[in-house]
Structure 1
Amino acid sequence: MTDTKIGFSDAERQAMQQRADELRAMKGVKGAAKKAKELDACLAAIAVLEGTDRVVAERLHVIVSEEAPQLDPKTWYGFPTYAKDGKNIVFYQPSSKFDARYGTVGFEEHAALDDGDMWPVAYAVIEMTDAVERRLRELVRRAAG
């Protein structure tokens, strides 16, 4: 018999609940207070990660801070995320979030990565090597415009 379960997985429902919590936490908060609260949330999201997920998220945070300081850290569905003018540019989806084999550094539609008729918007990361860091630095610089 095949599994006919329809709907969202537990992990997907949890992510949606995290997003609702994020929106509630920021309601009525503006300016510097909002940016500070979003930074704290981003750092907290990174701090609860383990293993490679934590290494990649911590390093991505440093990369964004150095290569695109104009991006504001925040969370988005519980993911460490970096935005420009309120628009998400880059995020890290840890492998632990959906029991995946690898974490993903993803870029949203406002990232300046357009390259002809087709380009990648997500990168699987299984280890943070020097080569991976160099590539992410280049991508973050480009994406931030």
Structure 2
Amino acid sequence: MTKKDEKNLQQVLDKIASMDEPRRGVMRRVHEVIVAAAPELKPRIWYGMPAYAKSASTPALISLRNDELMNLSLTEKAAIEPAGGRDGLLSPSAWYLEDLDEATEARIGEIVRAAVR
């Protein structure tokens, strides 16, 4: 890990640490799930939000928001494909959450792995 990667990771951890509970704990766990699902991603701050990219100098693929609802989203640089079926050409790219359970953590892992293909 480069010094820049270490600095960026610390900024992401600091951003998450500045959140109020219980969101801080949820976002910390989402961060852990993302890093475990795609260890090649580099955490960094992107537009003031925790985000994850292939390198410190490439656009973010995944971001986290802590607004009225917490949000996991994919950027246009992620591997996004149309959903098909009833959703036709719509591409799923954002998910809102209030808490985590095993199924949600597993789904986040799937989303992250698909985004970095």
**1:84 aligned partner:** 54
| Alignment CA distance shift 1:144-1:52 (3 Å) | farther
**2:80 aligned partner:** 113
Note the 1:48-87 alignment, pairs <5 A: 48-85=18-55, 86-87=58-59
Distance 1:52 1:78 in 2: 20
Percent identity for Structure 1 against Structure 2: 31
TM-score relative to the length of structure 1:
0.70
- Deviation (angstroms), 1:61: 1.3
CA RMSD of aligned residues (A): 1.6
Q: Which ranges of structure 2 fall in alignment gaps of 5 or more residues?
A: none
Q: Answer 1 or 2: which has greater helix percent.
A: 1
**1:15 aligned partner:** none
Distance 1:52 1:91 in 2: 19
TM-score relative to the length of structure 2:
0.85
SS at match of 2:2: helix
**Which of the pair has more CA radius of gyration?**
1
- Deviation (angstroms), 1:87: 1.7
| Alignment CA distance shift 1:72-1:132 (3 Å) | same
Distance 1:112 1:52 in 2: 31
Q: Which ranges of structure 1 fall in alignment gaps of 5 or more residues?
A: 1-30
